[in-house]
Structure 1
Amino acid sequence: MNYVNGLAPIVTVYGPGNLHHLTYGSTVGGNGGVGMVSTTNEGTTNFLLGFSFNYVDYAFYWDGKGPAFWRISGNSTLREPVGSSWANATGIPLGNEVILGLNVVAQAAAAGNVGGVVPVFFSAEEFD
């Protein structure tokens, strides 16, 4: 389960581009936040997706030069493609065992823009 017992989603991207991230489904009120982090790395970059206790739903997509895949940290061997827009984003409900393909255009439009202030950490190295 994501964000439980130290497990979190990792997005591996190839080449430069932008990882867009949306938090929504507030537990304290509000419409969530949408932001973006970029990499200029021509090689492989791994983004570790963090979370906020104020939200229960997360979505993300990649608009980069090369492909992107997600996996859950730890011993997971499953790797799946990442969505390429808010209309076909990759969704992660907090504590869910399944990562979903979602249309979150309405949620992204309602969310406040937080720019680069998103719960995402990245590295050119493998995390596990």
Structure 2
Amino acid sequence: MSNRDPAAGLRLAIRIDDPTLAARLADILGQIPELRIAGADEASDLVLSAADASEHGFDLTPRERDVIALLAEGLSNKAIGQRLGISPDTAKFHVGRLIDKLDATGRTDAVAHAARRGIIHL
């Protein structure tokens, strides 16, 4: 049970490495009457963090971003390899890593997951 005064509103801490983005979010979220942005040394009720994406494997390398874009075009491993100047086996490796990172069941599902997460735009 919290000793916090409910009339004080919800305190939100923003923990994002990009100071410009953090400031923009604080400005936008600070306009909500029931929400108060917590200071760096202040306790909070919720934490908004951009670090979560990499912890869950959604951070893709530039090469993986190239591969997922080509997957979205429906290219085979052989065609992906030709487009990127890599072997079909290397393309297959990248596709497999993407499927794992995006927790997908296959190529099409990986594209769908990437689109939902804003990694690619269809």
**Larger strand fraction of residues:** 1
The structure that has the greater radius of gyration is 2
TM-score category by the smaller chain? under 0.3
More relative contact order in 1 or in 2 (CA 8 Å, sep 6+)? 1
Give the TM-score taking structure 1 as reference length: 0.21
Scaled by the length of structure 2, what TM-score is found? Answer: 0.22
